[in-house]
Amino acid sequence: MDLKMMIKAHAKELGIDKIGFTTADNFAALKPSLLAQKAAGHTTGFEHQNIDERLYPDKIFDQPQSIIAIALAYPAKIHERPPRTGPKRGRFARASWGIDYHTVLDRKMASLIKFIKRTAENDPNLRFKPMVDTGELIDVVVAQRAGLGFIGKNGLLITPEFGSYVYLGEIITNIKFAPDEPMTSQCGDCTRCIDFCPPKALLGDGRMNGQRCLSYQTQTKGYMDPEFRPMIRNVLYGCDICQQVCPFNKGKDFHIHPEMEPDPETVLPELIPMLTLTNKDFKTRFGKLAGAWRGKKPLQRNAIIALVNLHDRSAIPHLLEVIEHDPRPMIRATAAWAVGELQPSSNPEIETFLKTALAKETTPEAQVAFQDALDHLTQH
């Protein structure tokens, strides 16, 4: 058995659901598209900023020969719902269920590299560079060329076995492997992901306006534009809409990896308690999730927005507490907006409270948000 077949066999033993091999040739054909996306303002800033390093493996690795791509399937459904406790709940998108996938993939790739080194009798000349989506290369493009699946019109990798519910990682190496056959798109005339994307972020050719993507919007740290607030519904992190409507995901729900199993109370949390989470509480409850990487501030802002989208008027006293005590202007202002949206009729006591709070605000954005809330209240 040659090394490639041995690696594929051991990958199964390690719990790697798909593995493919491709050359370390460049991805230069994508450069015009990436430059056009940047010029159009469609990038998010989360991407690796050096475009050449995203496209040319030899810019980030000395004499690369091959790239090994892996995929791990994650669950699409929660089989055990949290108890009905009364308070409204938010939710994390599927890619943030379980332990942070970066950790899971890093461990799998480290184990695979260890096996390759051992199988190759610890050849000191062998080199490897593993990465997940925080690395330089474009995961979906590498995975597609390595034969793991095809890139859908939503820009995600779609595998025949698991749909798009997969985490991706890759390893650049100086070992030369025979490449696997790339897969071509099977989307055909289907446009469901494009049609169902609320902010119309998908451009139709596998690219998107990342600034309009709801997943990106949930991860920003500043004020969320009012246009996107109703669109996120009760989602605290990420977005699954373009995956949920995809025909290739119909019936796909794999519970293969225990570390990816969602804890219902964690990924479907009660919203009101989130408003006053301490840093310690946040780290304890959500620290292991991929959705925790931006900290608690975006999640708390999203929780306030979710309370409005769920029409939870029981949240009003808690939002007034946030306005009174939270030290962050953006959170106070979002809470003021929420009170203005949730309060069903004019309420002199709340109006006086907001006027007093407005007088203490010093940032222009917060002042505008408070005034808008007051205007909204007085129009009821």
Residues marked as catalytic: 133
DSSP class of residue 251 equals T
- Lookup: tokens for 337: 């907006």
Q: How many CB atoms lie within 10 A of CB 378?
A: 10
Provide DSSP, 139-151.
HHHHHHHTTS-EE
DSSP class of residue 41 equals T
- Lookup: tokens for 200: 């119309």
- Lookup: tokens for 219: 């991860």
Instruction: Determine the distance from the C-alpha atom of residue 216 to the mean position of all C-alpha atoms in its chain, rounded to a whole number.
Output: 7
Helix ranges (DSSP H) in the chain: 3-13, 31-39, 51-55, 101-119, 139-145, 192-196, 214-219, 241-244, 264-267, 279-286, 296-309, 316-325, 329-342, 348-360, 364-379
* Cα distances (angstroms) measured from residue 288 to each of 260, 263, 284, 319, 365: 11, 11, 8, 27, 33
- Lookup: tokens for 281: 């509480």
CB 90 within 8 A of CB 306: yes
